[in-house]
Amino acid sequence: MEVGARVWVPVSIAETRVSKRFDCIPSGTLHPNADEIDYLRRLVKYKDYAILVLNKPPKLPVKVCLPVHNSMDALAAAALSYDYDEGPKLVHRLDRESSGLLLMGRTKESINHLHWLFNDINPAKSSCKAWNDACDAKFQRYWALVIGTPKENEGLIRSPLSKILLHDGKTERVILAQNVGLEPSQEAVTEYRVLGPMINGCSWVELRPLTSRKHQLRVHCAEALGTPIVGDYKYGWFVHRKWKQMPRVDIEQRTGKPYKLRRPEGLDVQKGSVLSKVPLLHLHCRELVLPNIAKFLPLLSNNAETLSPGLSGKPDLLRFVASMPKHMKISWNLMSSYLV
């Protein structure tokens, strides 16, 4: 290197020293009032002694990052501890702009097993066949509204992903790996299925990630399928430059009567849907199936091979389905009104 040369380092490294100042902020300084606690607890769809399942709203960050302190991780630690000494911990993540089912562990043992469950590296099998079968049955399903429609109605995307740093030295971006061996890549696999016909240039797609990579679904939709998700300005900016808000429908085409789900009055209700000039991200984790951790935890902790009689009657799997956020519901209802 020559004297005076400039070296770019990732933001995560540059701010390591600064971020240490905020390590204790969530539990130390956040004190939600009664209304905030009630709001957060209304997001909870399921709770037992081992896990919490929430329906995360869009635009709420999941993990603490500078300069944001009101993340789901921080708020849950402050408001969702219930009768426990500590609040629940994240075991997987959703993007800030996306919405849907978010899983959190409530005990140290459940957190460890859930991290193990969501690890992309094939974990070692347990001696309990019921637990192994339940782990194999685990999946997540997302619904997304994409611009355009995939060439095939269903398929499997196998496109490794790489992280690069843009010219400003700060902005990180995920791209499809070029397979030239110059940058590290991670395997990324996604199943997809088109849910219906293309309407006004958009179509609904169901996505099932088989690996858990950062921005995997967004990059696979935008670059592998060529159909960016509506509201994804990071990976679909080239399409959103030509975005035209969807026209409002007032008459049902089948009956000729006024549309009962017609556009409500008030811009606050319409903000973010396909009726908006600047729609929000239309990506929602709708369904989650996972092993019943509360059932298997005593067995796993004791390294036993069979369940006790009191636990054997409980289901091996838990299934959750989360309703879409308002902006996606409006888009869904509007597009459904075009179908004859």
Task: Tell me which residues are annotated as active site.
Answer: 95
- Do strands 99-105 and 283-291 pair parallel, antiparallel, or not at all (unpaired)? parallel
Whether residue 293 contacts residue 114, with contact meaning beta carbons closer than 8 Å, is answered with yes
Q: At how many degrees (to 10) do helices 129-136 and 293-301 cross?
A: 140
Distances from the Cα of 221 to the Cαs of 61, 134, 160, 257, in angstroms? 22, 29, 13, 37
For residues 154 and 206, what is the distance between their CA atoms, to the nearest angstrom? 9
Q: List phi, psi (to 5°) of 206.
A: -100, 130
Q: List phi, psi (to 5°) of 58.
A: -70, 160
Give how far the C-alpha of residue 9 lies from the chain's centroid of Cα atoms, to the nearest Å: 28
Number of H helices, E strands in the chain: 13, 12
Residue 319 is given by DSSP the state E
Distances from the Cα of 219 to the Cαs of 125, 195, 262, in angstroms? 31, 20, 33
Residue 298 is given by DSSP the state H
Distances from the Cα of 107 to the Cαs of 37, 87, 112, 114, 307, in angstroms? 21, 9, 9, 10, 20
Closest by CA position to 102, among listed 58, 56, 43, 47: 56
The count of other CB atoms within 10 Å of the CB of residue 47 is 16
Closest by CA position to 97, among listed 334, 294, 328: 328
Beta carbons within 8 Å of 310's beta carbon, 6+ residues apart: none
